[in-house]
Chain A
Amino acid sequence: MQITCPVCGNNKRFLVPLWVRVTFKFNEDGTISILHVRQLESLEDKITDQGKTSFAVTCKECGGEAEINLNEYESIEQEKRQRAVLEES
């Protein structure tokens, strides 16, 4: 899998929104403390569903919307096939 930012070229670090269940308590001094956080979604599923839902994987560096290539080798193979066809003709 390859994730890239078309704006700045970053291909390492990205931000993804995630729903979590939070257990918290009210303290006597009026503040709240978080006791536990549990992930409610599979990030892998969210990333592979990119484009089908309204959420976006964004670049951590510039905030641009990231592009996800689930099978980078497939596109390399496709390029090779296209080149071979062009060379033959």
Chain B
Amino acid sequence: MNLLCLRCGNATYFETEVETVVEVTVIEGGIKIENALYPDLDYTAETLGDNLNDLLEYTDRQAESDMLFDADTDTYYSRYFKCARCGHNKVAPPLKPKRPELPLADELAQHHEEYSHLRKERQHYADNLSGLREQ
């Protein structure tokens, strides 16, 4: 999934806040902070990556009712991300396709002609030499 900044259109660079775990070593009355390393695991990096992935997956599945609404652009945006390019805090998850609110029979009838055209196109590819080669 990607995100989109509602101000500058950036779809690549973002920032967010996540929780990770670090190691504290006690040394002569003070403390030293490092990544928590185990023989075959950097627990700090692992936790950071997992929590970031979880947040992205959650945002992808999030319902509009859980998001904030920007009236200027008529768009719902996530409360967890910020654009790393322009600093804007209105970052939207990708648009999810919506079905019009009408009965399925009406929807099928409305697109009958388009579907017939699609079938013809498919038949054309099936009869075409390049299509046969792929099979």
Measured CB to CB, the residues of A under 8 A from B are: 1-3, 11-26, 32, 34-35, 37, 40, 43-44, 47, 57, 60
Contacts and interface: CB of A to CB of B under 8 A. Distances in A.
B29 A20 contact: no
Interface residues of B, number: 30
A22 B52 contact: yes
Given A13-B25, A43-B24, A22 B31 contact: no
A62 B31 CA distance: 20
Contacts, number: 90
Contacts of B33: 43
Main secondary structure of the interface of B (DSSP, over half): strand
Interface of B: 2-3, 11-26, 29-31, 33, 36, 43, 48-49, 52-53, 56, 84
Contacts of B43: 15
A22 B48 CA distance: 9
Main secondary structure of the interface of A (DSSP, over half): strand
B111 to A, nearest CB: 31
Contacts of A44: 31
Nearest to B26: A3
A54 to B, nearest CB: 12
Given A14-B24, A32-B53, A60-B36, 15 more contacts: A1-B29, A14-B26, A15-B36, A16-B24, A17-B20, A19-B17, A20-B17, A21-B15, A24-B14, A24-B15, A25-B13, A34-B49, A34-B52, A35-B13, A43-B31
